[in-house]
Structure 1
Amino acid sequence: MTKPYVKKDIKDKIATIEFFHPAHNSLPSDILAKLASTITDAGKDDEVLVLILKSGGNRTFCAGASFKELISINDEVTGETFFSGFANVINAMRKCPKFIIGRVQGKTVGGGVGLASAMDYCMATQHSAIKLSELNLGIGPFVVGPAVERKLGVSGMSQIAIDANSFYSAEWANQKGLFAKVFDTTEELDLAVEEFAKNVCEYNPEAVKHMKQMFWRGTEDWDELLLERAKISGKLVLSSFTKEKLKRFE
């Protein structure tokens, strides 16, 4: 079985960052920390003009939080630290002075929807249905909520957050603005992502930097906001309701 990883490949001024976990690309703390630092480092690299963020494997883009790690949380500090991992990745993406292109090849759940929402331009396949399942576990999409709301609006975000049992199609996500384009196959998606990244490399880096700041205007408080949200999730994950729900995954 392939071990979890985060790897970065730089070619022709394009940094491709790929993460993988054998449990449907779920995100434990170590993967989250590595993702945040890798994105930050690529953003500072003068040899990089654009980032592509993708996951390994052919099916699930990201299953969200690691259930194995959620089950092991037994105090508020540990809970807050775990959920802060998602906050750190989203903030790293927000602060990166380069555009981040998302490549979503399959289903996306919970924190994975947060990652897709924090992309500057995200493309997907028709198989890339999304779901915010957190309320089913007794917690909520608190940390990823601001990023999801920024892309889907309050209406779209609340719809999928409240309907925590349902997957919403890639076409729905496309109509709401989460996915810029949806393709029939992964092969078509990869060709489009590569071509788009090459086009972005032709832009003036200074113009891109200012455009990125403009697009993310109004999120300057997210360093504090997302950590506050992590505290809420860190407390809720200790509730008897959530502990009982998580027993299904032991």
Structure 2
Amino acid sequence: MSEAYVKRTDTDKGITTIEFFHPKHNSLPSDVLGDLAETITKAGEDASVNVIILRSGGDRTFCAGASFDELINIDDFETGKKFFSGFANVINACRKCPKLIIGRVQGKAVGGGVGVASAVDYCFATTFASIKLSELNVGIGPFVVGPAVERKVGLSAMSQLTINADEFKSAEWAQEKGLFAEVFDDAEAMDNAVEKLADYLADTNPEARAELKKVFWEGCENWDKLLAKRAEQSGKLVLSEFTKKALAKYK
């Protein structure tokens, strides 16, 4: 696999799998973020869909977060705001989607990747799925994904990830804090669990599932405005001299 993509696969039972991929460790440039948000939204609007599985391609990194190639080339506020709004749109697409979303995390999740894992409703992982909020390393912070991460693991754990930005936390730590529901020794065992839960949910009352989704996300109704404001914070910081110097190391 050498080309980035977002693809959707449907089954007769109403189980829809949405998969994203990027050759650079499943990083997320603007076009992939846009396609991902749109695909989630359309699946949520599709009456034939009962449950959604969100996953990434490949067998190593789940998601490396923001595309450094794109970050390095941001040179004005509007471009920066638009880029970080891409993550806001994916998180809000998951939040507003009336279908329950199962996450499948096969490997490391960094920055925005932790945000994606936090935005699903039930998340499985392997023991290789360590997590890190690395934004402070390049002079910004996890402003956009922060609310989603905090909602799942609490302010204390989110602040630990944010402040100790150079250290990975284990999948077991993430499970203990509530990000991952279950952690498996390998992808095969995880996939069996994903399939089992998806099959079960597809047979439950769709009205009950939709109402539960609303309950799970109560208190987040202001996130359209909140995450837009957070995207502005990141859009300003990415232009700072500190951040420009930090990103230059990755050229």
**What band does the TM-score fall into relative to the shorter chain?**
over 0.9
Match in the other structure for 1:37? 38
Q: CA deviation at 1:226?
A: 0.1
The secondary structure found in structure 2 opposite 1:43 is helix
Match in the other structure for 2:210? 209
Match in the other structure for 2:236? 235
Q: CA deviation at 1:248?
A: 1.1
Match in the other structure for 1:107? 108
Runs of 4 or more, structure 1, over 2 Å off, are: none
Within-5 A mapping of 1:102-141: 102-141=103-142
Q: Distance in 2 between matches of 1:160 and 1:232?
A: 19
Q: Distance in 2 between matches of 1:137 and 1:227?
A: 21
Counterpart of 1:59, as a letter, is R
TM normalised by structure 1 equals 0.99
Match in the other structure for 1:151? 152
Q: CA deviation at 1:203?
A: 1.2
Q: Distance in 1 between matches of 2:129 and 2:79?
A: 31
Q: Distance in 2 between matches of 1:81 and 1:2?
A: 26
Counterpart of 2:99, as a letter, is K
The share of aligned pairs that are identical, in percent, is: 65
The secondary structure found in structure 2 opposite 1:160 is helix
Q: CA deviation at 1:202?
A: 1.2
The secondary structure found in structure 2 opposite 1:249 is coil
Q: Distance in 2 between matches of 1:145 and 1:126?
A: 23
The secondary structure found in structure 2 opposite 1:124 is strand
Counterpart of 2:80, as a letter, is G
Counterpart of 1:181, as a letter, is E
Q: CA deviation at 1:35?
A: 0.2
Q: CA deviation at 1:68?
A: 0.2
TM normalised by structure 2 equals 0.99
The secondary structure found in structure 2 opposite 1:18 is strand
Match in the other structure for 2:7? 7
Q: Can you give the 5+ residue segments of structure 1 that lack an aligned partner in the other structure?
A: none
Q: Distance in 1 between matches of 2:197 and 2:244?
A: 44
Q: Distance in 2 between matches of 1:194 and 1:162?
A: 36
The secondary structure found in structure 2 opposite 1:54 is strand
Counterpart of 2:224, as a letter, is D
Q: Distance in 2 between matches of 1:203 and 1:79?
A: 42
Counterpart of 1:203, as a letter, is T
Q: CA deviation at 1:2?
A: 1.7
The secondary structure found in structure 1 opposite 2:249 is helix
The secondary structure found in structure 1 opposite 2:95 is helix
Q: Distance in 2 between matches of 1:167 and 1:107?
A: 9
The secondary structure found in structure 2 opposite 1:31 is helix
Within-5 A mapping of 1:47-62: 47-62=48-63
Counterpart of 1:207, as a letter, is A
Q: Distance in 2 between matches of 1:136 and 1:203?
A: 44
Match in the other structure for 1:78? 79
Q: Distance in 1 between matches of 2:107 and 2:172?
A: 13
Counterpart of 2:2, as a letter, is T
The secondary structure found in structure 1 opposite 2:150 is helix
The secondary structure found in structure 2 opposite 1:8 is strand
Counterpart of 1:3, as a letter, is E
